[in-house]
A and B are shown apart, each in its own frame.
Chain A
Amino acid sequence: GAVVSQHPSRVICKSGTSVKIECRSLDFQATTMFWYRQFPKQSLMLMATSNEGSKATYEQGVEKDKFLINHASLTLSTLTVTSAHPEDSSFYICSALTSGVSYEQYFGPGTRLTVT
């Protein structure tokens, strides 16, 4: 299957700082990538849709000024958590959409963010 990488895999930061997470599609081009967040014992919740060359589309309740998304190329999307707070601590996962008939998405390995 298609390969998606994320970096870093784990990050610990202090309250008030910003953290950037990268999502790369390694062996295919992805016009569309998605960012999810998963809290313990809960399912994935879509945060935003990242489209190459245009502004991201955010889900209801997700602050676009806090979670900055940039999709500057067909293989890279970044999520920046600005002014992080402890409640932002979560597992952040990106996915990339392959071209085809059935919207198959492949997920990155996730980034575990801990804000102290």
Chain B
Amino acid sequence: RKEVEQDPGPFNVPEGATVAFNCTYSNSASQSFFWYRQDCRKEPKLLMSVYSSGNEDGRFTAQLNRASQYISLLIRDSKLSDSATYLCVVNWDAGGTSYGKLTFGQGTILTVHP
């Protein structure tokens, strides 16, 4: 079983649509959770951290369910510029050399069309 699992998609949605991505992680000791976006042939960019209480940043809402080991990202009012690969990323600090190590999901591809 993959440590971080995402539906690879692709998701094709019209502008203005609401789209949701899901992610599950296997390590119950995971401590920090993030969503990154990666454009084609570019580096990942941090979209938002995910907190236990859920958090929102403009059109983006992230939720965390520790009991189910599940993370979600909701994008409202999709824009053409939202087209990218969305990466679910998890960190667990096993101490020592594991400090700060991130584990990436395989990414979910989103295409927003006019």
**Interface on A for B, CB 8 Å cutoff?**
1, 32, 34, 42-46, 49, 51, 57, 91, 93, 95, 97, 102-110, 112
CA distance in complex: A46, B107 (Å): 15
| Binary per-residue interface labels of chain B (22-57) against chain A in the complex, 1 for a CB within 8 Å, 0 otherwise | 000000000110100000011111100100000000
| Binary per-residue interface labels of chain B (83-113) against chain A in the complex, 1 for a CB within 8 Å, 0 otherwise | 0000100010100010111111111000000
Majority SS of interface residues in chain A?
strand
User: Is B46 in contact with A46, judged by CB distance below 8 angstroms?
Assistant: no
In the complex, chain B residues whose CB is within 8 Å of the CB of A106: 46
> Would you list 11 pairs from A and B whose C-beta atoms are within 8 A, ordered by A residue?
A1-B46, A32-B99, A43-B105, A44-B104, A46-B103, A49-B97, A49-B100, A93-B43, A103-B100, A104-B49, A108-B43
* Given A43-B106, A103-B99, 18 extra CB contacts under 8 A: A1-B46, A34-B100, A34-B101, A34-B102, A43-B87, A43-B105, A46-B101, A46-B102, A51-B97, A102-B32, A103-B93, A103-B102, A105-B46, A105-B100, A106-B46, A107-B43, A107-B45, A112-B41
**Interface on B for A, CB 8 Å cutoff?**
31-32, 34, 41-46, 49, 87, 91, 93, 97, 99-107
CA distance in complex: A43, B36 (Å): 12
Decide: A43 near B43, CB < 8 A? Known: A57-B97, A103-B91.
Answer: no
User: Is B46 in contact with A104, judged by CB distance below 8 angstroms?
Assistant: yes
In the complex, chain B residues whose CB is within 8 Å of the CB of A32: 99-100
Decide: A107 near B32, CB < 8 A? Known: A32-B100, A43-B107, A97-B100.
Answer: no
In the complex, chain A residues whose CB is within 8 Å of the CB of B91: 103
Q: What is the minimal beta-carbon distance from B105 to any residue of chain A, in angstroms?
A: 6
CB nearest to A112 among chain B residues: B41
User: Is A49 in contact with B32, judged by CB distance below 8 angstroms?
Assistant: no
CA distance in complex: A34, B100 (Å): 9
CA distance in complex: A104, B49 (Å): 8
CA distance in complex: A102, B33 (Å): 9
In the complex, chain B residues whose CB is within 8 Å of the CB of A109: 42-43
